[in-house]
A and B are shown apart, each in its own frame.
Chain A
Amino acid sequence: MKARPLDVAAAGTLLFALGAGLLVPPDAVQGDLQRIMYVHVPSAWLAYLSFTVTLIGSVTYLVTRRMRWDHLAGAAAEVGVVFTGLALATGMIWGKPVWGVWWTWDARLVLTAVLFFVYLGYLALRRSIDEPEVRARRAAVLGIVAVLQIPVVHFSVTWWRGLHQPPTVLRPDNPQIDSPLLFALLMGVAAFTVVFAALVSRRKELAEIEDAALAADPGEEVAGSAVAAPRLEGGTA
């Protein structure tokens, strides 16, 4: 498979963001540990963006009934689950040396974990239905309802008191961060956004190939079809 300009741009910006994250001066309070922020925060923001794209794809599918929008919604949700998992993982890795624990029952952490599992459920729903139109319709409804979690997750740090710090950049007053650190953070966000676009593009294409293969050969085995109900011998239950 040939690399496209978007793939090359994703790899390039990711390398640039890696350099920026490792080379900017350390934070005055947390020192070098602060560098985890340059991958943690972009992961969380891209999770929000992914599920917003899933919302757009879901609504547009229900209006137009064109499968390309369902493919977009499904692709963005899968990539969003990856980014949500990364936000959780990097948050835990950051939390251990700073808070002293891998996990705490803080509102932001719990709600992010719930977000992760709800979208895992969304992906499971998609895999459980073979008929493309039925799958698209049911997934679209869940894709619209599930996105309501995002504002709750984002504002949880201001609505409930917990260990997680309040917003640093996306806050009503000015961002509370020095310019070099803000530069590295925005580079991380830019790089992850290009990576997101490249991954969603590739995943959407894969969904189109899978649906085309299913349409060409409806009898072909698909995921889950190997698990069949047991056949009862003798005709008695």
Chain B
Amino acid sequence: MSDWGWVGFAYLVVYGTLGAYVVSLLVRRRRARTGPR
């Protein structure tokens, strides 16, 4: 893999993880407000 490939991989992991964590917070918040289904 090229240098830019490694850089892109690292940035994808970081930004993807932060985005996924934000989504998990939103889902947990909605679940806490509405109760378990």
Tell me how far the C-beta of A186 lies from the nearest C-beta in chain B, rounded to whole angstroms.
17
Interface size counted on chain B using CB atoms at 8 A: 23
Cβ of A39 within 8 Å of any chain B Cβ, yes or no, is yes
Query: Given A82-B21, A209-B32, A213-B32, are A36 and B7 also a contact pair (CB < 8 Å)?
Result: yes
| Residue of B13, B21, B33 contacting most chain A CB atoms (<10 Å) | B21
Contacts of B3 in A (CB 8 A): 31-33, 97
Which of A21, A36, A195, A206 is B28 in contact with, Cβ under 8 Å? A206
Cβ of A57 within 8 Å of any chain B Cβ, yes or no, is no
Please state if A221 and B36 are interface contacts (CB–CB under 8 Å): yes
SS of A interface (majority): helix
Please state if A32 and B7 are interface contacts (CB–CB under 8 Å): yes
Interface size counted on chain A using CB atoms at 8 A: 34
Tell me how far the C-beta of B11 lies from the nearest C-beta in chain A, rounded to whole angstroms.
6
Stretch with Cβ within 8 A of B (4 or more), from A63-71, A84-92, A153-161, A176-184: A84-92
**Measured CA separation A51–B35 after assembly (Å):** 30
Please state if B13 and A89 are interface contacts (CB–CB under 8 Å): yes
Tell me how far the C-beta of B19 lies from the nearest C-beta in chain A, rounded to whole angstroms.
10
Residue of B with least CB distance to A79:
B21
Tell me how far the C-beta of B16 lies from the nearest C-beta in chain A, rounded to whole angstroms.
10
Contacts of B18 in A (CB 8 A): 14, 82, 86, 195
Chain A interface residues (CB < 8 Å from chain B): 1, 14, 18, 21-22, 31-33, 35-36, 39-40, 43, 79, 82, 85-86, 89-90, 93-94, 96-97, 195, 199, 202-203, 205-206, 209-210, 213, 220-221
